[in-house]
Amino acid sequence: MSMLYTKVKKYLEANSKTVSEFENNIILKNDGAGDIIDTWNVSGLAKPNDSQISSYESSATTEENNVAIRATRKVAYGNIGDQLDEIYKDIVAGKLDTTGEWAKKIKAVKDANAKE
């Protein structure tokens, strides 16, 4: 189940608002039974009801999963300096294409950690 924050973010985006609307305008809190919208002061947009929030469950879950996948990829890609060194070596070897070591490594990471 996705977080309320992500579902509210999706609701904002679907209604031409930005995540910056959260700042000082929306306060989420846990009432002991789960997260709720405690304060809603978004200009020109009504506070979403439970049904509206629930409609963003799937897209919010996908977004959260992809954030986790990007974090996993970032670690697997390794240090940017090492990547640049590998690209340089591929250039010198005339392999600045899919046959180069850097490209093969990046493809392997992406294949092992596919986004939804």
Average pLDDT over residues 55-64: 97
Residue 95 in any domain: the answer is yes
For residues 35 and 82, membership in a common domain is answered with: no
Query: In this structure, what CATH number is given to the domain that contains residue 15?
Result: 3.30.56
Whether 1 and 42 map to the same domain: the answer is yes
**Residue-level pLDDT at 5:** 96
- pTM of the shown model: 0.78
Q: What's the domain range around 107?
A: 78-116
- Three-class SS of the chain: CCCHHHHHHHHHHHCCCCHHHHCCCEEEEECCCCEEEEEECCCCCCCCCHHHHHCCHHHHHHHHHHHHHHHHHHHHHCCHHHHHHHHHHHHHCCCCCCCCHHHHHHHHHHHHCCCC
Please write the tens of the pLDDT for every residue from 12-25.
999 999 989 888 89
Domain membership of residue 1 (yes or no) is yes
